[in-house]
Amino acid sequence: DIVMTQSPDSLAVSLGERATISCKSSQSVLYRSNNKNYLAWYQQKPGQPPKLLMYWASTRESGVPDRFSGSGSGTDFTLTISSLQAEDVAVYYCQQYYTTPQLTFGGGTKVEIK
């Protein structure tokens, strides 16, 4: 199974500042035939289910603010919140779907306000 490792476990960022979350996979999730990275990002606010933010590593889900962006390829990926808002306090998870049907998540990164 592909192991997804996120870092840091938690981070505190001032309102309006940038937050950067890393996700590394134990093997590449880039499918060469279509040049797509099989990676998604989710946001989970306290007491709520996860919400899809990003798929194909960098495609924003409909309705997701453009301050959220995804980047990276192969084994190294980043989720960036360009200007942190209070409503962005949450735990963020990456998930690979390269080794479908076996799907795996990263351990999560908690984002708080400094």
Partner 1 sequence: EVQLVESGGGLVQPGRSLRLSCAASGFTFGDHAMHWVRQAPGKGLEWVSGISWNSDSINYADSVKGRFTISRDNAKNSLYLQMNSLRAEDTAFYYCAKDWKKTTGTFFDYWGQGTLVTVSS
Q: What is the CA radius of gyration of the chain?
A: 13
**Quick check: 74 binds partner 1 (CB under 8 A)?**
no
Give residues with Cβ within 8 angstroms of 68, minimum separation 6: 53, 54, 60, 79, 80, 81, 82
Burial class (CB in 10 A: 0-12, 13-18, 19+), 71: middle
Total binding residues for partner 1 by CB under 8 A? 23
**Quick check: 50 binds partner 1 (CB under 8 A)?**
yes
Q: Measure the CA–CA gap between 114 and 111, rounded to whole angstroms.
A: 9
List helix spans (H) across the chain: none
Bridge-based pairing of strands 10-13 and 4-7 is unpaired
Segment near partner 1 (CB under 8 A); pick from 18-26, 38-46, 66-74, 76-84: 38-46
**Quick check: 2 binds partner 1 (CB under 8 A)?**
no
Residue nearer to partner 1 on the CB measure, 17 or 112: 112
Segment near partner 1 (CB under 8 A); pick from 18-26, 44-52, 65-73, 78-86: 44-52
**Quick check: 104 binds partner 1 (CB under 8 A)?**
yes
**Quick check: 55 binds partner 1 (CB under 8 A)?**
yes
For binding to partner 1 (CB under 8 A), which residues are involved?
38, 40, 42, 44, 48-52, 55, 61, 93, 95, 97, 100-108
